[in-house]
Amino acid sequence: MPFRAADALLPLTPIAFEILLALLEEDLHGYAVLQQVEQRVGRTLPLRTGTLYRALARLLDTGLIEEIDAGDRAARTVKVHEDDERRRYYRVTPLGRQTAKAEALRLEDQVSAARARKLLPGGKR
């Protein structure tokens, strides 16, 4: 894959960013990603299975995540719950980690601007 700057893919969609956040701590299969996202933002950002798998496909296509094959998964210390050979596991790539960080910084800048304009507490008085 040719070099791509981490900020070249910004802004991320909220769902793509949440998927990357879910995968930053551990490699997960699709349904576990869905559960992680729902647990964190379920009411404000409902995620359906079709939307999840389309987002995963886009993240794979852009190189932000990669699918882990069964042999690699067994060799790593992946938390496997009810392991099933049919499940596809995903991990964040170095580009995905850099892009997630760039997106977090972009969002932090927006929140700072909102605070400065007194939309949120904690801004300049």
Average pLDDT, 10 consecutive residues per value, the chain (125 residues)? 80 97 96 94 89 97 91 55 75 98 97 95 71
pLDDT at residue 70, rounded to an integer: 60
Distance from C-alpha of 40 to C-alpha of 94, rounded to nearest angstrom? 23
Closest CA to 38 of 29, 27, 53, 49: 49
Domain boundaries of the chain, sorted by first residue: 10-93
Stated pTM of the model: 0.85
What are 66's strand-pairing partners?
91
pLDDT at residue 6, rounded to an integer: 83
Give CATH for domain 10-93. Answer: 1.10.10.10
